[in-house]
Structure 1
């Protein structure tokens, strides 16, 4: 199973979400991240995201920002977006109903705020929101693997 985390620039929220979810899943799962804009392409995550992740023993320092493309629908089974604008941007590239079904808001009824213009405490708050979301996602994915759907 391949999961993609998406935010605006792929330097704050989605790298954290990628690192957190990877820490909760076996290596048989692939977790990656991307951004809906290419402004930071090839750059490491924001230093505040790296520091926040390190505080929880997660290393995201080797990740590199990349731009979300329509081809990602072919390469990933699930796509989790941080906010509704990300969802809209991703869905604008969907070609099929199957593509659209892959796209979800990471928090069921809440957006993950972008901490880019904030101080370090906001990054910690974002980390905890993502940790809760990733805990739920990991539990759901592990159940699916243990209990394949019956047809």
Structure 2
């Protein structure tokens, strides 16, 4: 299973989601993250994201921002978007229906339909990053269980 987490700049939400999911899924799973813009390409995650993840025993300090590419739509099985604008941007980049079916809003996929968007903590403080971490952590648990259950059912 190959999972891609996507936000705007790939320095706050999606690196956190990548780190959290990597800590939860079997090692055979591949988890990566990307952004819809290339403004931060090559940069490490925001220092506040790194600190928040580290407070929970997750090291995201070596990740580097990158924009989503056309190849990602073929490489990844699931593409989770952090907000509606990101979702619409990613959907617009998909070449066909098969690729579009891989894309979903992260919180909707996690069953949280009343809060479809993971808020962007960039303009906030550590408290905002912690709140986003908690949302992502809960969502990653649910999505992980869904993916593992679906994989198990396919094998049986």
Q: TM-score range by the shorter chain?
A: over 0.9
Q: Which residue of 2 aligns with 1:10?
A: 10
Residue 115 (structure 1) aligns with: 121
Cα deviation, residue 144, structure 1? 1.7
Q: TM-score, normalised by structure 1?
A: 0.97
5 Å matches for 1:56-75?
A: 56-75=56-75
Match of 2:132 in 1: 126
Aligned match of 1:25: 25
* Secondary structure of 2:6's aligned partner: strand
What is aligned with 1:53?
Answer: 53
Structure 1 position 98 matched with structure 2 position 74: no
SS in 2 for 1:16: helix
1:61-108 deviation digits (Å, cap 9, x = unpaired): 000000012221011000000000000110111111001000000001
Query: Does residue 41 of structure 2 align to residue 41 of structure 1?
Result: yes
TM-score calculated relative to the size of structure 2 = 0.94
Once the 2 structures are TM-superposed, how far is the Cα of residue 145 of structure 1 from its aligned partner?
A: 2.0
Query: Of 113, 134, 146, which residue of structure 2 is paired with 1:140?
Result: 146
SS at match of 2:59: coil
> How many corresponding residue pairs?
150
More helix by share: 2
Q: Equivalent residue of 1:112, what SS?
A: coil
How large is the RMSD of aligned CA atoms in angstroms? 1.0
